[in-house]
Amino acid sequence: MNRIGYIIEKEFKQIFRNKVLLRMLLGAPVMQLILLSYAANFEVKNLTIAVVDQDHTTYSQRMVSKFRYIDNFRFLGYLPAYKPAYQQLLSGNADLVLVIPPHFERDLGKENRGAVQLLVNAIDGSKAGIAAGYAQQIIRSFNEDVRAEALAVSTTGLARVTIENQYWFNPRLEYKTFMVPGILFEILILVGGLIAALNIVREKEIGTQEQLNVTPIRKYEFILGKLIPFVIIGLVQFSLGLLIGVFWFRIPFEGSLALMYGFAFLFLLLSVGLGLLISAVSDTQQQAMFAAFFCLVLFILLSGLFSATENMPGWAQYLNVINPLKYIIEVGRNVMLKGSTFRDVQQQAITLALMALALISLASWSYRKTV
C-alpha cells in the first residue's frame, strides 16, 4: 500500500507542478459545461415569416394577425408577389412564406373551402417540421374560428374537448434540462480517457516511465497508482459541474445524490481504464491523442447526448451496445430528472461495471515493464 501511496503522491505533485494541465483539468470542463449547455440548443424560436397577401380582405388580415402575435414567429412583412417571397426564402431571410391567393374570403364563404400555400425552408429538416407544425396549428385555429362564426354560434356554446398538457420531468420544456445531465458525464470521459492517456504517455516520452519500470513496483500497484488520482480529480470536476447544473441552470435534482456519485465513480474507473489502455498501446502523445480522439468522438456522437438513440439507424444502435457514454447518460437523466432508483438503473450499472473491469484488465495486461 505504501508504494501505491507514493505513486499517487507523485502523480499529484506532477499534476500540480504542470500549471497548464491543472487549469485544463479544473477550468476547461466548467467552461465546456456552460458553453455547451447554452450553445447546443435545438429549441425552435424566432421563425421569420413573410406573407404574400393577394386577397386583401378581413379574413386574410385575421389569419396574418394570428402569426404576428405568436412568440415563436417574427413577422418579416408583406411582399407583393410570389417571386420576391421566393427570393427571401432562397436568401435565408425567411423561414416560412405564407401565400394567401385571391378570392380566399369569397371561396371560404361560398364554397365552404379555401386554400393557402405555405412554403417552408427545409434545409434543416427538423426545424422545418416543427415550423410547419406550428403554422398548421395556427391555420387550424383560424379555420375553427371561421366555422364557428359561419354557424352563428359562439365557440363557448359548442361542445368541446379541453386539452391540458402536463410535461413530466421537464415542465418548462428547456433544452438545457435535457443537456446538462449528459454533459456532466461527457466531461468525465474527456478527463479520464484523454488527459489520463496523454499524461502517462508523456512520462514514456520524457523517460520517467523507465525509471518506474526498474523499481520493484508491481503491475497492479502501478495501475492503481495511476488510476486513483484521476478518479479523485474527476469527482472534484463532477461536483463542480453538479453545483453549476443545480444552482446556475436550475436543473431539478429528483434522485439520490449518493447514487449519482456512485455512478460517477464507476464511470471514472471505466474512463481512466480506457485512458490507461490507450496509453499502454501508444508510444507518443500524438498516437494517444488520435486514438483517444477517435474513440471519444464516436462515443459522444452516438451516445444520445444531442438526439435520441432510438432514431438512429440500426447499425448505429448495434454499435451503441459497447458505448459506455450511452448508458451513463441514460442514468444521469433518469436519476437526476425522474428520480430513478438503483433498481431502475441496475442494468446500466451491471453493463458499466463489466466494461470497467474489461478495460482495466486489458490495460493491466497490456502494460509491460520494459526498459
Per-residue model confidence as pLDDT tens for the chain (371 residues): 677 888 888 878 877 887 777 777 778 788 888 888 887 777 777 888 999 998 888 888 888 888 887 777 888 889 888 888 888 888 888 888 989 989 888 888 787 788 888 888 888 777 788 888 888 888 888 888 887 777 765 555 555 555 666 778 887 777 888 888 888 888 888 877 887 788 778 777 777 777 777 777 787 788 788 788 888 988 988 999 999 999 998 888 898 999 999 999 999 999 988 888 888 888 888 888 888 888 888 888 888 888 778 878 888 888 889 999 999 999 999 999 988 999 999 999 999 999 999 998 888 887 765 55
pLDDT the model gives residue 165 = 66
Which cell goes with 283? 508510444
pLDDT the model gives residue 365 = 84
pLDDT the model gives residue 356 = 92
Which cell goes with 237? 470536476
Distance CA 255, CA 263 (A): 12
pLDDT the model gives residue 224 = 83
The pTM is what? 0.76
pLDDT the model gives residue 357 = 93
pLDDT the model gives residue 259 = 94
Are the C-beta atoms of residues 47 and 97 closer than 8 Å to each other? no
pLDDT the model gives residue 263 = 95
pLDDT the model gives residue 270 = 92
* DSSP three-state, residue 96: strand
* DSSP three-state, residue 124: coil
pLDDT the model gives residue 256 = 92
Distance CA 93, CA 31 (A): 32
Are the C-beta atoms of residues 229 and 316 closer than 8 Å to each other? no
By the 10 Å C-beta count (0-12 exposed, 13-18 middle, 19+ buried), 83 is classed as: exposed
* DSSP three-state, residue 49: strand
Are the C-beta atoms of residues 232 and 323 closer than 8 Å to each other? no
Q: Are strands 96-100 and 73-78 parallel, antiparallel or unpaired?
A: unpaired
